[in-house]
Structure 1
């Protein structure tokens, strides 16, 4: 069975994803035009919906790469339809990442598409499958920040500018966290095929707790500062300054009363 032999229903984009994409488009339009009475609400809907779209694309990248790597079971599982309800753990893939954005403004690595690794041959293919997800987040960040690094912000409404900056921050945090070589994260999946069988067996029991350990360590002030310094450095390289991301998050958290949209400042 090849990709050409997949049933059309296995590849058809799901109405669920199309609905999320529609919310992204409509709320993005409301943010751009200032149509909404409360700009923060429009920013909230736009960023949240776009974040879910990026989560779906993250999982799709894993699944599509696995399909081309030899796991022909991917199509029947519905992973190619971009439907988040088809994921192995919708709670981990969508609900928790959205809650973390709302509560803390950080891009939680989500995920779970079940890949039958036994069908895939070659260490490079295994590594690429793991890397495909966070690489998608990195590409999403580049696209979000295009107006910044292309110096094409003239005519971009301030609220939309801040929303893009905050969305980019989420993508960068998700990419960096996911690329950490820690069991349970994609970064470990990249290096795992190159480890000895004995090391993999020793590490395997810790995989369910890898993400929890990362967030526990991030509570350490020195680690937290170092992590966000790295995030800020990446964003500055993409033309986004702290002012943009700060006000993006402030508008996003509209329930805290922030509705005024300030003018941008020069980097």
Structure 2
């Protein structure tokens, strides 16, 4: 029983991340210059890493209920990002993607022992659990906008929510792409023939980088961001709120001058 409880105990590392998120979020709410941009940066990075932990936890939890009891022993149920199999893919690269392009793109991190799981539907649900978590977070973060509940909310905090919501939207959409190495392919893979899986397997390590690289192609980037802006607008989030959130986040480029819209 003690071992089982330890496998589900929330990690101090995760609690520390939540504390940083809370403290920096409070500072952003206070909207206190001259460090407003730095507080926004810390708030968004810590909140983004927390969401990555929730994304991976969702995979692990779905795997646990599908028959892979090994996820507990691996530490995946503690929300500890240091327990992930690829710290570079799970934490470092997603944070770099945000800094470089303002794109939310989680990487694969938990190792599921698939031979323990029976049924293609279960395999697909395990892969879908992560991006579905991002979609749920996107709904939660955009709720103040589409509920028109932002009266009295400081501008810097509002912009931070908008940018965080956009990160969750892009994470859900991009991770659902049927590209080897992403969760969308994991949803599709159980339904492919053995031959097709063998042919696509070598491309899995490069899928994440390939998607990010494609987003730097002007035509693809324009099409993608136009779609994101349209979706965000349908959720009540103005494009300028997201843009100001990104500008505050990149505090080293200088604090933006906010104008009325």
Aligned pair in 2 of structure 1 residues 264, 238: CA closer, same or farther (>3 Å)?
farther
Quick one: distance in 1 between partners of 2:203 and 2:92?
23
Instruction: Indicate conservation of the 8 Å contact 2:48/2:164, yes or no.
Output: yes
Kindly indicate whether residue 206 of structure 2 is the aligned counterpart of residue 203 of structure 1. Answer: no
| Structure 2 equivalent of residue 193 of structure 1 | 190
Aligned pair in 2 of structure 1 residues 264, 150: CA closer, same or farther (>3 Å)?
farther
Q: Which moved more, 1:94-103 or 1:15-24?
A: 94-103
| Structure 1 equivalent of residue 83 of structure 2 | 86
Query: CA offset at residue 215 of structure 1?
Result: 2.1
Query: CA offset at residue 233 of structure 1?
Result: 1.8
Instruction: Indicate conservation of the 8 Å contact 1:38/1:259, yes or no.
Output: no
Quick one: distance in 2 between partners of 1:71 and 1:118?
8
1:66-215 alignment runs, 5 A limit: 66-215=63-212
Quick one: distance in 2 between partners of 1:135 and 1:264?
35
Aligned pair in 2 of structure 1 residues 241, 132: CA closer, same or farther (>3 Å)?
same
Indicate the SS of the match to 2:7.
Answer: helix
Query: CA offset at residue 143 of structure 1?
Result: 0.9
Kindly indicate whether residue 39 of structure 2 is the aligned counterpart of residue 42 of structure 1. Answer: yes
| Structure 2 equivalent of residue 255 of structure 1 | 252
Quick one: distance in 1 between partners of 2:99 and 2:46?
12
Query: TM (normalized to structure 2)?
Result: 0.96
Structure 1 stretches of 5 or more lacking a match? none
Quick one: distance in 2 between partners of 1:200 and 1:5?
40
> Which of structure 1's runs of 4+ aligned residues deviate more than 6 A?
none
* Matched length: 261
Deviations 1:30-74 (A, max 9, x none): 111124532111111111100000000000000000000000000
Quick one: distance in 2 between partners of 1:263 and 1:133?
37
Q: Which moved more, 1:208-217 or 1:121-130?
A: 208-217
Instruction: Indicate conservation of the 8 Å contact 1:30/1:36, yes or no.
Output: no
Quick one: distance in 1 between partners of 2:2 and 2:122?
21
Query: CA offset at residue 111 of structure 1?
Result: 2.6
Instruction: Indicate conservation of the 8 Å contact 1:158/1:263, yes or no.
Output: no
- Alignment RMSD: 1.4
Query: CA offset at residue 5 of structure 1?
Result: 9.3
Structure 2 stretches of 5 or more lacking a match? none
